[in-house]
Amino acid sequence: MTQKKEQPSKATQQDMKDASQPDTVQSFTTAEISSDEDAFGDMYARGADGSMQRIPVGTVGQLLKVAANGFPAWANDITNTIIVNAGADQSISVANTNLLATASDANSAITSYLWTKQSGPVEPIGTGFNGGSFTPLRTRTFTPSGAGDIVFDNTNTLPGDLIILQGNFRSVTLTNVQGTAANPIVFRNPAGQITRIGNTTWAANGGPAYALQTSNSKHFIFAGTHWDNLLFTGSEVNTDGGGEPYRSAYRNLSFDAFSEKFEICYFTATQGGTCIVAKTDPVSGQSATWYPNTTLQDMLIHDFIIDNSYNEGLYIGHTATYWDLTGNAPYNSGPYDAPPADSNRYKQPIMINNVKVWNGRILNTGKDGIQISASKNIEVYQNEVYNWASVNIPARASHNGGILIGGRSETSNVHDNITHDSWGEHLQFYGTGAGHIFKNNLCYNTNAANVSGDMASIAARSGTNNTENHPGQITVEGNTFSRCGGGALIRVNGYYNKSGGVSGTNNLQVIMKRNILMAPRNNAGGDNYDSFYVYTENPQDYGYNTIVTRPLAGADANVQYLTEAIANVDTNNYYLPNNSAVIQGFRKTQPVGPQPVSGASVIATPNAAATAVTNMVSGVYVFSIVVGNALGQYKSDTVQVTVVL
């Protein structure tokens, strides 16, 4: 217990250190003094909620020290009359149980309860490369020092390490960090605590331009205990740095130079320029960085929140068709241009195999929400994306996809996502080859300010050899599209789909079935042209029905409604048709957005005296209950639960 007396002041409250830092001595004055000076002593304490309270006379309340769990050390003072009981210890053979605390206080009212898991068996971390569970070979804890930058490499990590990052770091760098498939290297926050990584005040020459950067690293996992507990915070500096604000150059998470076979999950990334970047730039003299000499493997990103990035939310894979090794800059040829003549100068970036993004919530991004290019075997599912393309700059029109499957992308499955309420287009597709799927997605509300806004733009591109022998083919099935801007619900670019072959051959680009297409032109009603629903550019190349297969009758029929009222859907229930005979369109059968760790214990109502605890595994758990009263005093008790499954 730490004792410190402060003379009260009627001045405003002084700045205080971050309450999230454990065992930090706090000094302060009071913001307001009661007129009844005699009713109080000159002692102050920080409550579990972080607020400062003046302690009544007779309360020894010497606590100016806050433990890591926010529990005041003065809670067991002799004047504290709270009585709390966490209940009897339990032995159970099921994964769920109920906890019930009782509490009373003869001198004050009980005002708060807080259940936390104090200890327990190792629970699953992520759902990655070894079945979703992880048993560390050793556990190490690192805290920030100096400016808060920390570097991990093959000298301070080993396969099977569990690395606890405790505190607030300016940057974390991984170089040559090499786990194995059986024993990845896992980074996470301490249980019950928040770890922050990043520099909110970064500007040019202000330290690393990233929160997390990896290079030549594989078989590693960053997994928070919850997405609210592992935070990657980017620059918030909006001062002009030469045409764009400084923050635009900041990357919250940057997976560079042969980084692969990684999983990042249960985290939140905010502010900065681009929240997640994952690509390897071609380098002169390094043939391993040129396609097709290397293919990166396995990038898994799930159960996360991305909010308020200046650029893209996720930028995975290279968007450049070619890279100019001399100028160190992208070189993008047209869809029918021959490859650059100087094959020594221009190289294609390497590709990524097996990219999965799921259970994310991506909001308020300045440009695209989810952008994936130069990849194959892509799966994007159960994400919520809204208010992308939110930065009103001229370039917004070129970077306005909610979910974008970019050039040189082969085989993608985009399903069970919800995109809504944005200035930009909901789906942009530039993939190549057959086997692309856009299924059971709900897309609604394109901002009416985007007068030329289409809801989905399909412009499949050429194959990786630029010969146009492999036009993209995509099946658009069982989706609901509602309320576009001044364009069409779906726009198909026939020019970019042209194969150069005989009319009607090798051109099954867009197959549409069982979709609901409703409320074009901002749900305004009025004229009802077929092109408001599906518009095909350059249909003369092959003929409309060759580019788009879109039955309006039969088992695979699509349905079209001029307004939402005519469609008779429940806009408060995922646009579900009120008429059960309508089988087309989106059905919400899966959770969307971040979900609790699969298999990890969950305290259902932590702020109540009674709570259920679910998803436990075999082992011994200790749960703590902290009870507070109206005087700002606290007491705790624990209960042990032994689980044998």
Give the pLDDT score at 483. Answer: 95
Give the pLDDT score at 13. Answer: 31
Give the pLDDT score at 583. Answer: 96
Average pLDDT rounded to a whole number, residues 582-586? 97
Quickly state the pLDDT bin for 135 (edges 50, 70, 90).
confident
- 159 and 136 Cβ atoms separated by less than 8 Å: no
172, 176, 177, 180 alpha-carbon torsion, rounded to 10°: 160
| Per-residue pLDDT reduced to its tens digit, 590-608 | 999 998 776 677 788 889 9
| Per-residue pLDDT reduced to its tens digit, 187-219 | 999 877 899 999 999 997 789 999 999 999 999
565, 570, 575, 576 alpha-carbon torsion, rounded to 10°: -120
Supply the mean pLDDT for the chain: 83
DSSP letter for 544, please: H
Give the pLDDT score at 584. Answer: 97
Identify the residue whose tokens are 């001045």. Answer: 11
Q: Which residue has the higher pLDDT, 508 or 519?
A: 519
* Domain at 83-123+602-645: CATH code: 2.60.40.10
Give the pLDDT score at 400. Answer: 92
Least reliable range by pLDDT among 218-222, 319-323, 560-564, 608-612: 319-323
| Per-residue pLDDT reduced to its tens digit, 73-118 | 444 444 789 999 999 999 999 989 999 999 999 989 999 999 988 8
Structure tokens at 164: 């606890």
- Assign 390 to helix, strand or coil: coil
User: Comparing C-alpha atoms, which of 81, 116, 195, 40 is closest to residue 624?
Assistant: 116
Domain with CATH 2.60.40.10 in the chain: 83-123+602-645
Give the pLDDT score at 6. Answer: 32
Give the pLDDT score at 398. Answer: 83
DSSP string over 188-252: EPPTT--EEES-TT--TTSS-SEEEEEES-EEEEEE-SSTTTEEEE-----SBSSSSBGGGG-EE
Q: Which residue has the higher pLDDT, 74 or 251?
A: 251
Quickly state the pLDDT bin for 284 (edges 50, 70, 90).
very high
Least reliable range by pLDDT among 140-149, 299-308, 444-453: 444-453
- 437 and 466 Cβ atoms separated by less than 8 Å: no
Give the pLDDT score at 49. Answer: 52
| Per-residue pLDDT reduced to its tens digit, 406-416 | 988 999 999 99
Quickly state the pLDDT bin for 486 (edges 50, 70, 90).
confident
Average pLDDT rounded to a whole number, residues 432-443? 93
* pTM, two decimal places: 0.77
- What is the Cα 13 distance to its own chain's centre? 36
Q: Which residue has the higher pLDDT, 210 or 472?
A: 210
| Per-residue pLDDT reduced to its tens digit, 13-72 | 333 333 333 332 232 222 332 333 333 344 555 555 555 555 444 444 444 444 444 444
pLDDT at residue 9 is higher than 60: no
Quickly state the pLDDT bin for 231 (edges 50, 70, 90).
very high
Identify the residue whose tokens are 């906890």. Answer: 99
Q: In percent, how much of the chain has pLDDT > 90?
A: 61
